[in-house]
Amino acid sequence: MAHVNVFDTTLRDGEQSAGVNLDRLEKVEIAKQLERLGVDIMEAGFPASSQADFEAVKEIADTVRGCSVTGLARANKRDIDIAWEALKGGAEPRLHVFIATSPIHMTHKLKKTPDEVVEKAVEMVAYAKEKFPHVQFSAEDALRSDQDFLVHIIEKVIDAGASVINLPDTVGFTTPDEIGRLFRYVRENVPNIDRAILSTHNHDDLGMAVSNSLAAIENGARQIEGTINGIGERAGNAALEEIAVALKIRQDRFDFETGLVLKEIKRTSDLVSRLTGMQVPGNKAVVGRNAFAHESGIHQDGMLKESTTYEIITPAMVGIDSNRMVLGKHSGRHAFKQKAEELGFELTENKLKEAFESFKTLTGKKKEVTDDDLFAILTDTQTENEDQPKYELKAFQVQYGSINRPTATVLLTRPDGEEVEKANTGEGSVEAIYNTLDDLIDADVHLQDYQLSSIGKGRDALAEVHVQLTVDGVKASGRGSAQDVLEASAHAFLNAVNRTLYRSKMENYQKVQV
């Protein structure tokens, strides 16, 4: 079977989803899980876009050794130089450089003639090749580009040193038959195409990203680009987990394979969902909570007699284990550490101690602590910035009744260590808490979005809250979990504010470095 490389862009294109703002620790944690998943290439970010992104890409490149780490760059020397500084410590550094090739982009965005675009592309690919052993060239908006112009520019950038040619459907415009024809045309008309790998990168604006990716593979693409859970700008990208499982299940149709470890799919999906705050729809293929649920009587009867009557993918294939060990209040530190490692977490002694204390606190409230509960505790602990001055919730109380206006009293520790306490009201309990926190925080804070969900099932399930705020005009996202909805809401609010403090610290660091 022919091997197809998997190029994951969750940390770059995926993070461009509206409302998603991953910090350095969160990016590194996702990167480690993507490495366990077995991706071939990991696009860690856009190093030239900000100091924070540069630092995250550099740490990922220096940490990850199981795959090639790449970064995005526009076709200019500054972007390429910054990307090299971030990526040069990687096991297999590569650069992803792009320039638009469609008439609408060249005319209205770049304001360049086709000849000028070719000249710039060739110059920058050649410049990048002086530094990077692998250079990928992307023809932005390729599916709306003139095919003969594509053939011309592809031939030139391959001669300049590009070893991967990506033909992205940047706006999710194409169909499977159209993308198939384009890839065939390129293969048949670019004379030096044998010196490069063709890659496909599809957006889901018309709901065809996965189908288009599979069609491109059938017609010569040997690299697929996408994201976990299909996240990304607008309607998102092709969902890598769907492509990988489709290639596995339909081997009768697709004589191709990836190197993905399929049993790591669910864990990867859960981590990305939790850290980005983008919930996976229940009916989402492969990883949705209903993907293996059967409610129809006819379906249930068939499943009891023979599972393959209605189930083409087994839960175990993608990492859903029905025989998971449950920890409780009598479980010790050793069992907890072993379970954390099974869930894919490598914690320092301090982080392990902190997570174990949170676990013990939870066992006093819940009879059984599930894998989902542990995953939430470990994720929060692992991605918390240590030794960072922050606002910390010490205590709160809410008075509420059907005929009384809700009133919240909050005791808070400020970043300078001072304890402050105030009370305020609201139309509801959450609003009362948020109004009080707003009074206690030295910033202009506005709530933009609030999402509440549960972790696991049952009356004692943990509540998880995701919020989006603006803090002094800066967008910030935050998350919090607790058995009490109001406590989870308070933690999410403060998490967003503290992330803004950390970002300001990074920006000040950037000014000092400059």
Write the CB contacts of 481 (distance below 8 Å, at least 6 apart in sequence).
376, 380, 455, 462, 463, 464, 465, 488, 491
Residue 409 host element (H or E): strand 404-413
Q: Angle at the Cα of 355 (from 354 to 361), degrees rounded to 5?
A: 95
203 is in an annotated binding site: yes
One-letter amino acid at 131 equals K
- 227 alpha-carbon distance from chain centroid: 7
223-226/197-202 β-pairing: parallel
201 is in an annotated binding site: yes
Return the half-sphere exposure (C-beta side, CA atoms, 13 A cut-off) of residue 366: 26
On the 0-12 / 13-18 / 19+ scale of CB atoms within 10 A, 111 is exposed
229 is in an annotated binding site: no
CATH topology of domain 2-276: TIM Barrel (3.20.20)
Q: What share of residues in the chain are helix, strand, coil (percent, to 5)?
A: 45, 20, 30
Tokens standing for residue 394: 């010490």
- The reply to whether 392-512 shares the fold of 2-276 is no
Predicted confidence at residue 371, as pLDDT, reads 86
Where along the chain do its domains lie?
Answer: 2-276, 293-320, 333-383, 392-512
Q: DSSP class of residue 75? A: S
Instruction: Please give the full DSSP string across 113-159, using - where no structure is assigned.
Output: -HHHHHHHHHHHHHHHHTT-SEEEEEEETGGGS-HHHHHHHHHHHHH
Q: For the CA atoms of the chain, what is the radius of gyration?
A: 25
Tokens standing for residue 510: 């950037």
Instruction: Please give the full DSSP string across 181-229, using - where no structure is assigned.
Output: HHHHHHHHH-TTGGGSEEEEEEB-TTS-HHHHHHHHHHTT--EEEEBGG
One-letter amino acid at 307 equals S
Q: Is the pTM of this model over 0.85?
A: yes
- Mean per-residue pLDDT pooled into runs of 10, the chain (514 residues): 97 93 93 98 97 96 97 98 98 97 97 97 98 98 97 98 98 97 98 98 98 98 98 97 97 96 96 94 92 55 55 89 65 87 88 92 83 90 83 95 93 95 96 97 94 88 94 92 95 94 55 34
446 is in an annotated binding site: no
Q: DSSP class of residue 169? A: E
Instruction: Give domain 392-512's CATH architecture.
Output: 2-Layer Sandwich (3.30)
Residue 355, SS3 per DSSP: helix
CB 348 within 8 A of CB 340: no
CA 503 → CA 10, 23, 61, 473, distances in Å? Answer: 21, 8, 21, 13
Return the half-sphere exposure (C-beta side, CA atoms, 13 A cut-off) of residue 284: 21
Predicted confidence at residue 509, as pLDDT, reads 39
Residue 434, SS3 per DSSP: helix
